[in-house]
Amino acid sequence: MSTDFDAIVVGSGISGGWAAKELCEQGLKTLVLERGRHLDHPSSEYTDFQAPWDMEHRGMVPELYDEQGRYLMLKRKGWTYRNEFIQFFVDEKDHPYSYPEDRPFMWTRGYQLGGRSLTWARQSYRWGPKDFEANAKDGHGVDWPIRYDDLAPWYDHVEAFAGISGAQDGLPDLPDGDFLKPWEMSCAEDFVSANINQNFDDRHMIIGRCANLSETRDVHTSLGRGTCQSRNYCMRGCSYGAYFSSLSATLPAAERTGNLTVMADAIVSEVVFDPETKRATHVKVIDYHTKEERLFSARVIFLNASAIASTHILLNSRSETTPNGLANSSGQLGNYIMDHFGHAGANGTVPGFDDRFEFGRKPTGIYIPNYRHDRREEQGFHRGFGFQGGARRSRSTHSGTRAGIGAEAKSGVGDWQTWSFGIGMFGEMLPYADNTVRLHPTKTDAWGIPLAHLDCHIRENERKMIRQAEIDAVELLTAGGCTNIASARTPDDEHVLVGGKTHEMGGACMGHDPSTSVLNAWNQTHDAANLFVTDGACMSSCGTANPSLTYMALTARAARHAVELLKEGQL
């Protein structure tokens, strides 16, 4: 196998898949290096055709794992701790990282071809103009070197290929796109939404936009992708290719160009830098099984290992000229780690629809985008939050956790419950320079690489948002016409696990100024022009909307720029 390529992409998840597709389609011989195992599509590891009774252990994760101290963080995550897709998540016992004992960090990873594109919840929203202006306006973090208009055409580009379903909502802070037809709201959601929209000028409840093919276009069918079957089993992998993943979409598109080489079980430990040419020349790879080390070279290198992992690779790329890591002349590498945070919400019942039902399991919920931009004076905190949630009507069940036996316990099981509706907040964490990832000074993993050490916590600004979000959630449900409303929030003195929303961002932020940021407006490192970072590490702020669509747009934009620079002979 050749060790020299036009381009190397590190990581094959959401952003790496996009880098590979764009670079291959532009004619570059591209090597994708993936630390996890190879997976086909459809894969024998998919479990999407299993009914509940067909699933191994009926979906329960083996108890043995508890005894062996495995998957402890994934277990804390709760809803993702299921046996039918645990194979797509990393066990931190095998792949440890560290954090201060009193400030745990939740780093949820997927080490396989396709990364977390297999298990993401597919919520896909453009960020609005205010999201890119926020740092400049309130002075937190580093000003984004781009604005919404720079990214808008690239949102168009990635949405058309990925297939995003959604409505044309016409909201100023949540731009529309060229969407596939939206999923239908349930009658209960329609009711709540109409009431909210009637009662508030600034708060809107819309159907969730998601990367599930509610219908197909040629661009999808040409890759063998089919229409979504409303199963909501997406985290198990989808044999129809009906949700966007690297396996169903970007990697096959890259593959058909004939320019793609994929190498699995290849752990990138560092990027090699030539101080004379100021170029990244090689990546060092450690074989997962044999631990053999190899070097691969390319004219452009894209880091897409995910926010923490790409930052970690750069930190570990130490040499005489880069003793604190590559692309760290600003000293800002590893700073400004962010995540969305939840920790407040409400639920209630939706009266009046007891004779109405839903059929099918739609793979999305509802969205109430951030309506609190620019209200610092009035609300006492910067930035804001949105809500995600939905309504459901299920049959009563008995999980054996309450009193009652025999016919009495069974009576009522299977009866329809009334519609319930719930929402949870997604708050914007401010970029704090001292929320960091660093190399652990002494501990290493099984391949001799220093562990990533994460030290992050939320501050008073976020606590204020959590308090306000609980109040707002109740207001929204009340205005929405719900009854029996109950709300909850995490108490002020309880640690909020950063990483809990799996939207980790920052670490190698974009900025105008090489002395205060790691990447320029095109995601090139200021210190090595042929080295690009286009995953969540590049984000200078974290907004409130799910970020992956933005990573896709930034990646496609940066890849096209890299190709232009190559053509111009600048790289």
Partner 1 sequence: MNAGVLATAGIVLSACGRGEDLPLETTLGTSFEYFPPHQAAILSDVADMLIPQTETVGAADTETILYLDQLMLKWAGERTKLEIEDFIDSLEAEALARYQSNYLNMPEDKRKEFLQEIDAASFSENLDTVPVKSYRRVKWLIFHIHYTSEAANPDFVLIPGQYTGNVSEADYLALVDENRY
Ligand X SMILES: Cc1cc2nc3c(=O)[nH]c(=O)nc-3n(C[C@H](O)[C@H](O)[C@H](O)COP(=O)(O)OP(=O)(O)OC[C@H]3O[C@@H](n4cnc5c(N)ncnc54)[C@H](O)[C@@H]3O)c2cc1C
Rounded Cα gap, residues 286 and 445, in angstroms: 12
Tokens representing residue 207 in the block: 């159907």
Q: Does 183 bind partner 1 (CB under 8 A)?
A: yes
Site for partner 1 in 403-422 (CB under 8 A): 403-407, 409-411, 413-414
Residue with tokens 């009774």: 53
Residue 115's binding partner among partner 1, ligand X, ligand SF4, none (Cβ under 5 to 8 angstroms by kind) is ligand X
CA dihedral of 149, 155, 157, 161, whole degrees rounded to 10 = -170
Give 100 or 414: the residue with its C-beta nearer to partner 1.
Answer: 414
* Residue in 59, 129, 351, 514 binding partner 1, rule: CB under 8 A: 59
Give 363 or 543: the residue with its C-beta nearer to ligand SF4.
Answer: 363
Rounded Cα gap, residues 37 and 7, in angstroms: 21
* Residue in 305, 326, 327, 451 binding ligand X, rule: CB under 6 A: 305
Least distance to ligand SF4, CB of residue 57, Å: 21
Rounded Cα gap, residues 567 and 66, in angstroms: 54
Give 413 or 486: the residue with its C-beta nearer to partner 1.
Answer: 413
Rounded Cα gap, residues 340 and 500, in angstroms: 8
Q: Does 355 bind partner 1 (CB under 8 A)?
A: yes
Rounded Cα gap, residues 283 and 304, in angstroms: 13
- 47 φ, ψ (degrees, to nearest 5): -125, 25
Give 232 or 281: the residue with its C-beta nearer to ligand SF4.
Answer: 232
Least distance to partner 1, CB of residue 161, Å: 24
- The binding track of 32-71 with respect to ligand SF4, each residue x by CB under 6 A or -, is ----------------x-----------------------
Comparing CA positions, the residue from 141, 149, 534 lying closest to residue 337 is: 141
* Residue in 268, 391, 429, 528 binding ligand X, rule: CB under 6 A: 268
Give 116 or 382: the residue with its C-beta nearer to ligand X.
Answer: 116
Q: What is the 3-state secondary structure (H, E, C) of 261-303?
A: EEECCEEEEEEEEECCCCEEEEEEEEECCCCCEEEEEEEEEEE
Rounded Cα gap, residues 154 and 564, in angstroms: 16
- The binding track of 216-235 with respect to ligand SF4, each residue x by CB under 6 A or -, is ------------xxxxxxx-
Residue 381's binding partner among ligand SF4, partner 1, ligand X, none (Cβ under 5 to 8 angstroms by kind) is none
End-to-end CA distance of the chain: 24
Least distance to partner 1, CB of residue 59, Å: 7
The residue with its CB nearest to ligand X is 13
Residue 87's identity, in one-letter code, is: Q
Q: Are the C-beta atoms of residues 175 and 166 closer than 8 Å to each other? A: no
Q: Does 174 bind ligand X (CB under 6 A)?
A: no
Comparing CA positions, the residue from 322, 324, 281, 283 lying closest to residue 304 is: 283
Give 147 or 231: the residue with its C-beta nearer to ligand SF4.
Answer: 231
Rounded Cα gap, residues 195 and 198, in angstroms: 5
Q: What is the CA radius of gyration of the chain?
A: 23
Indicate the SS3 state at residue 457. coil
* Residue in 6, 9, 15, 205 binding ligand X, rule: CB under 6 A: 15
Which residues would be at the binding site for ligand X (CB under 6 A)?
10-16, 33-36, 80, 108, 110-111, 115-117, 119-123, 267-268, 304-306, 309, 313, 502-503, 535-536, 546-548, 551
Which residues would be at the binding site for ligand SF4 (CB under 6 A)?
48, 212, 228-234, 238, 240, 242-243, 363
Which residues would be at the binding site for partner 1 (CB under 8 A)?
49, 51-53, 56-60, 62-64, 66-67, 183-190, 229-231, 355-362, 397-407, 409-411, 413-414
